[in-house]
Amino acid sequence: MGRHGTQDLEKMYIIIFYEERNFQGRHYECMSDCSDMSSYMSRCHSCRVESGCFMVYDRPNYMGNQYFMKRGEYADYMSMMGMRDSIRSCRMIPMHRGQFRMKIYERENFGGQSYELMDDCDSIMDRYRMNDCQSCHVMDGHWLMYEQPNYRGRMMYMRPGEYRSFRDMGMSGMRWMSMRRIMDSWTVGYLWNGPPEENRGGLGGGSPNVCIHEYSNISKWLVWCIFIHVAPSSSLSLGPYR
């Protein structure tokens, strides 16, 4: 099957979709946004994220239920993630370095209570005494919003921009109760093919709909790489750094 994307993203963002479970059947390799998978394959029952992070949707044009995918293998993602329909579109999540800022509003059109976030918030009710969030303005970074506290339940990907009404975006009747930054550390270790085996593949714990796993061992592996670069022939033992 063909490739989709540009060469400058080739080494950073790769997701491969397969028609059948367990990576069988025809496949399609994607390296950027794809608004309609039906142009390349009629169905999709498994996928493999080789690098980067992606948001996938069960309807074309980035509509419907949304699911976050990091590097890993999803041999039967519909069962793993509680999806009822197969993937119909996908969106690449760019790496972001720098500060994160998002202003959330209790009501549509930036009405009601408002608060500015610069870090993760596991419950807007506990932190701000807000019982709902219906609009927001993302100034910096990329975020995930969840319908339940503690980053659980259905999710929505937010890029920089103004979102005046979640209802008009097809999210009618949903409440958004927690927000999380999509960190650079979730993808940085994957660009040089050297993450430890315990961080390869699978979901990241928590709700079956939440497949986020921060790359907590990045520091020790960077030190490991520095040892190799500075003293490749020294007598230092190059076992795992602790």
Task: Encode pLDDT of 204-217 as tens digits.
Answer: 333 333 333 333 33
> What residues contact 239, with CB distance under 8 A and at least 6 apart?
none
Q: 147-176: string of b/e by CB count within 10 Å (b at 16+)?
A: bbeebbbbbbbbeeeebbebeeeebeebbb
Predicted local confidence at residue 193, as pLDDT? 33
Architecture of the domain defined by 101-181: Sandwich (2.60)
Distance between CA atoms of residues 123 and 27, nearest Å: 39
CA atoms of 206 and 193, how far apart (whole Å): 26
Task: Give the number of other Cβ atoms within 10 Å of residue 118's Cβ.
Answer: 13
Spatial separation of the C-alpha atoms in residues 8 and 15, rounded to whole Å: 15
DSSP3 helix / strand / coil % (the chain, rounded to 5): 20, 35, 45
- Identify whether the C-beta of residue 115 lies closer than 8 Å to the C-beta of residue 105: no
Among 204, 207, 161, 208, smallest CA distance to 183 is for 204
The span from the CA of 101 to the CA of 68, in Å, is 20
> Which homologous superfamily is 1-95+186-217 in?
Crystallins (2.60.20.10)
- Looking at the DSSP assignment, which residues form a beta bridge with residue 24? 20
Q: Are 29 and 48 in contact (CB under 8 A)?
A: no
Identity of residue 148: Q
pLDDT digits (tens, 9 = 90+) for 135-145: 999 999 999 99
Distance of CA 211 to the CA centre of its chain: 8
Q: What's the CA gap between 87 and 60, in Å, rounded?
A: 9
pLDDT at 184: 74
Query: Model-level pTM?
Result: 0.72
Where does CATH 2.60.20.10 sit in the chain? 1-95+186-217, 101-181
64: DSSP letter: E
Spatial distance between the Cα atoms of 98 and 184, rounded to a whole number of angstroms = 9
- Report the pLDDT averaged over residues 85-109: 94
Is residue 220's pLDDT more than 50?
no
* Residue 82 per-residue DSSP state: T
pLDDT at res. 103: 98
Q: How far is 22 from 77, CA to CA, in rounded Å?
A: 10
pLDDT in tens, 77-96: 888 787 878 899 999 999 89
pLDDT in tens, 157-170: 999 999 999 999 88
Alpha-helix runs per DSSP H in 9-94: 77-81
- Predicted confidence at residue 171, as pLDDT, reads 85
